């Protein structure tokens, strides 16, 4: 018995370290906005203490970004959210209160800045941001159905400990959509989500060229431009957006304060798309190919070759090619997004989504390096190799 007990303890330790299911929260839109997220902060903290979840994330991105903002910026961000997105403001105030009740100094204004983290992180004041990465694959499985797999890569490593699964319930108590993200509680939005019969969707970081000035981004936010984190949630909460086409049209034309890629899949055969968004519209939209079984988007424009420093799309496409249509099952596709460097030390979680069934499966991933990085499908020099061949770095 004692042996079995110890063995159980040991295996559960291994399981939490290697692959973990994020906690699940039901966001019930029938509840008042201010109390809708009650219990969500504790749900995270019951799994991971503040010092190993929120704190390192706040510390890293204060250094990378928020320390560059002053009191008037925070004030203006809070005011912009309150005046243009009053319901979001109430939700964020409710979340700030949950932190305050635990004695953690997280204000509504700070959360308003986090709501616009993506936009502000595209500005000229950002200090250093690595892991501007994500992988999106839309694939047709051997039986003709469409699936989407999304890796979210994010620094610092502790960001993965914030990952939260949400099930959103509408004003009639019916399931509305499913979502997952590491900064859901810092924004009230989700960057990976699925609504049955409509779409599955993710955003991937797209770089601005040239980098925008902080003042220009602030002016957009103050004039009411929506946060990237709310674009999908808002569309999924709108009953008139009821088809894949409606959804794609809405997210293609929603005005933004920073660019991003949108990868989305529908519930019917061949419904898939990768959209390279600029601030007003799509710079280029790639539809699911008629003669192939996958569409892959990482963080470079698909009409350009991969950045040699970041060969993840090359890697994913090579692996999908090796797999072939016959092996394009949920299992085969999960193997692709789990292979280095598609799955790299920054991969916080993987979402597997189907708009046909409304399913969303999310797994928090480990930050690991392969024992032999030279044996991976492409040579990635960023994380697991030193210049000196064969020497592994610890991350």
Ligand X SMILES: *[C@@H]1O[C@H](CO)[C@@H](O)[C@H](O)[C@H]1NC(C)=O
157 binds ligand X, rule: CB under 6 A: yes
Q: Are 201 and 244 in contact (CB under 8 A)?
A: no
Q: Are 147 and 265 in contact (CB under 8 A)?
A: yes
Q: Which is nearer to ligand X, 72 or 394 (CB)?
A: 72
210 binds ligand X, rule: CB under 6 A: no
Q: Tell me how far, at minimum, the Cβ of 215 lies from ligand X, in Å.
A: 6
Q: Which is nearer to ligand X, 145 or 368 (CB)?
A: 368
281 binds ligand X, rule: CB under 6 A: yes
103 binds ligand X, rule: CB under 6 A: no
Maximum alpha-carbon separation in the chain: 65
158 binds ligand X, rule: CB under 6 A: yes
Q: Tell me how far, at minimum, the Cβ of 52 lies from ligand X, in Å.
A: 4
CB count in 10 Å sphere of residue 248: 23
Instruction: Give me the DSSP letters along 320-349.
Output: HHHHTGGG-SHHHHHHHHTSTTTS-TTEEE
394 binds ligand X, rule: CB under 6 A: no
The whole-angstrom distance between residue 222's C-alpha and the CA centroid of its chain comes to 24
280 binds ligand X, rule: CB under 6 A: yes
Measured CA distances, 128 to 124, 131, 180, 207, 244 (Å): 11, 10, 25, 14, 37
Q: Which is nearer to ligand X, 156 or 332 (CB)?
A: 156
Q: Which is nearer to ligand X, 167 or 278 (CB)?
A: 278
- Name the segment binding ligand X (CB under 6 A); options: 129-137, 276-284, 288-296, 342-350: 276-284
Q: Which is nearer to ligand X, 70 or 290 (CB)?
A: 70
Measured CA distances, 119 to 106, 146, 214, 258 (Å): 20, 31, 9, 5
> Nearest 5°: CA angle at 63, between 135 and 165?
40
Quick one: tokens of 88?
């979001």
223 binds ligand X, rule: CB under 6 A: no
- Name the segment binding ligand X (CB under 6 A); options: 157-165, 166-174, 185-193, 326-334: 157-165
Interface residue with ligand X among 108, 110, 114, 244 (CB under 6 A) is 110
Residue closest to 347 by CA, chosen among 378, 371, 370: 370
Residues binding ligand X (CB under 6 A): 48, 52, 55, 58-59, 62, 66, 70-72, 105, 110, 157-158, 161, 234-235, 238, 250, 253-254, 278-281, 283
């Amino acid at each position: 018995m004692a042996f079995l007990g110890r063995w159980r303890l040991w295996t559960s330790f291994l399981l939490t370290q290697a692959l973990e299911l994020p906690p699940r929260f039901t966001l019930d839109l029938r509840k008042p906005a201010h109390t809708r997220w009650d219990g969500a902060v504790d749900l995270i903290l019951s799994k991971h203490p503040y010092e190993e979840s929120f704190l390192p994330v706040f510390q890293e991105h204060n250094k990378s970004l928020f320390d560059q903002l002053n009191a008037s910026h925070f004030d203006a961000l809070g005011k912009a959210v309150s005046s243009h997105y009053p319901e979001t403001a109430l939700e964020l105030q409710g979340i700030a209160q949950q932190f305050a009740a635990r004695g953690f100094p997280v204000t509504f204004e700070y959360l308003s800045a986090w709501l616009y983290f993506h936009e502000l992180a595209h500005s000229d004041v950002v200090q250093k941001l690595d892991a501007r990465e994500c992988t999106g694959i839309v694939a047709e499985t051997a039986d003709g159905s469409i699936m989407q797999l999304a890796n979210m890569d994010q620094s610092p490593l502790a960001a993965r400990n914030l990952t939260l699964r949400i099930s959103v319930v509408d004003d009639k108590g019916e399931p509305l959509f499913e979502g997952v993200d590491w900064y859901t509680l810092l924004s009230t939005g989700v960057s990976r989500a699925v609504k049955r019969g409509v779409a599955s969707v993710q955003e991937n970081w797209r770089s601005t060229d040239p980098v925008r000035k902080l003042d220009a981004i602030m002016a957009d936010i103050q004039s009411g431009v929506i946060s990237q984190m709310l674009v999908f949630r808002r569309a999924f909460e709108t009953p008139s957006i009821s088809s894949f086409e409606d959804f794609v049209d809405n997210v293609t034309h929603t005005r933004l304060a920073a660019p991003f890629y949108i990868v989305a899949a529908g519930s019917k055969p061949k419904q898939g798309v990768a959209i390279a968004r600029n601030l007003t519209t799509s710079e280029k939209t790639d539809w699911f190919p008629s003669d192939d079984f996958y569409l892959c988007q990482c963080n470079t424009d698909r009409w350009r070759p991969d950045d040699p420093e970041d060969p993840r799309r090359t890697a994913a496409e090579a692996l999908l090619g090796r797999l072939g249509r016959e092996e394009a099952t949920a299992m085969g596709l999960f193997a692709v997004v789990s292979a280095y460097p598609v799955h790299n030390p920054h991969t916080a979680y993987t979402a597997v989504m189907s708009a046909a069934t409304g399913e969303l499966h999310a797994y928090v991933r480990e930050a690991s390096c392969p024992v032999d990085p030279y044996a991976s499908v492409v040579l990635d020099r960023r994380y697991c190799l030193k210049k000196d061949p064969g020497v592994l770095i610890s991350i």
